[in-house]
Amino acid sequence: MQTLTYALPKDSQAWHNALDKVAHLLPVSLLDVSGLSNLPVFAVVMVVDRAVVPSIARLDELMVSFMQTLPKWRMQMVYDDETAKTHAHKIVAGKQLADVVMSRYLVMPAQLNDTHIKPDVARRMMDDQLTAYLRQELSADGFDRVDVHILNVAQILTKPKLVCFDMDSTLIEQEVIVELARMCGISDKVGEITERAMRGEIDFATSFAERVALLEDTPETVVDDIIKHHISFSSGAHALMRALKAEGCWTILVSGGFEPFAKYVAQTLGMDEYYANPLLTAEGKITGYIDPVVIDGKRKAQIVARSAERLGLNMAEVVCVGDGANDLPMMEISGMGIAYKAKPIVQARADVALNVTGLEGVLFALGQRFDKV
């Protein structure tokens, strides 16, 4: 079988070099990340299905044309330095990842001293205008195959040291409790409750108790069967974990699912820690009861915050990735919250949303290239 390898530039100075070129226009030092966070200076990352935009040159043309509609703003292209590319980490992906074109830009007002625009307002404005422009330039189908990430440049300059992930429908393609229900013949009942909880329509802890109660007397051997035959990893999961490890990141799985599955997923992916709800059994069967402390959205955020504190990190150095409403609390306290093929409510509130790639798209959201060798 062919081994597919991707290059992750090592210690890239791409964003710093781009900022150096406009440093004379900035009212703060490039070393003052906190000061930069208060300015409307943005990292724009565009990721497009190659079938829609075939080359970086064409993507850059689109961005240049868009910037011409904003005469009071300026753009700086972002490129990796040769040293970073020469010494790039070689990451084995195992299989073909999404075939996309990716390019990066530094965008800021032409006269920073004359603007009083708040960064959050400016970012939303930029997002709305760029979205409208791409809708106009690309077909409706083509627009759906574009991810645009607009972040305050301070978020890109802050190197992530802790990356936390949800499990179900994020690291793996399944919702484990739905798989358990399918094996028990109660898919419709459990599936309906799960979807309502993930959309944020009902309390997670209550819904969790209701779903688990439906599993009472299920043989615990079903767990091994599901792990062996019904769990598949999301595209890019293995490659992403290898890339994060190469970058020195600590990785944690934080799931509202069950420990046996979380243990399998975390160990298979080589993650550092995992947290999940115990699956209570007795005499070889699932009891239908739950532990008094349920890992819901609030508990996920607590685990992330305490892990960062234990590792001596500030929350700006933490990235959280998830797809459901119960992931929002941990995403909102982190330096960057990334929605992965998520529910609409999550995409709307996350810093960035991934839709056209697999999990390797996390690297793009972090402002890095990840190109097939």
- Residue 71, burial from CB neighbour count under 10 angstroms (0-12, 13-18, 19+): exposed
225 given a catalytic annotation: no
- Please pick, among 147, 166, 296, 327, the residue that the annotation labels catalytic: 166
- Please pick, among 147, 168, 296, 323, the residue that the annotation labels catalytic: 168
Query: Which tokens is 50 given?
Result: 């190659």
Query: Which tokens is 351 given?
Result: 């810093």
Listed in sequence order, the residues at least 6 apart from 133 whose beta carbon sits closer than 8 Å to its beta carbon are 65, 66, 69
- Per residue, the 3-state secondary structure of the chain, as one string, reads CCCCEEEECCCCCHHHHHHHCCHHHCCCCCCCHHHHHCCCCEEEEEEEECCCCCCHHHHHHHHHHHHCCCCCEEEEECCCCHHHHHCCEEEECCCCCCCEEEEEEEEEECCHHHCCCCHHHHHHHHHHHHHHHHHHHCCHHHHCCEEEEEEEHHHHHCCCCEEEECCECCCECCCHHHHHHHHHCCHHHHHHHHHHHHCCCCCHHHHHHHHHHCCCCCECHHHHHHHHHCCCECCCHHHHHHHHHHCCCEEEEEEEEEHHHHHHHHHHHCCCEEEEECCCEECCEECCCCCCCCCCHHHHHHHHHHHHHHCCCCHHHEEEEECCHHHHHHHHHCCEEEEECCCHHHHHHCCEEECCCCCCHHHHHCCCCCEEC
Angle at 203 between CA 197 and CA 209, to 5 degrees: 85
147 given a catalytic annotation: no
Catalytic (active-site) positions:
166, 168
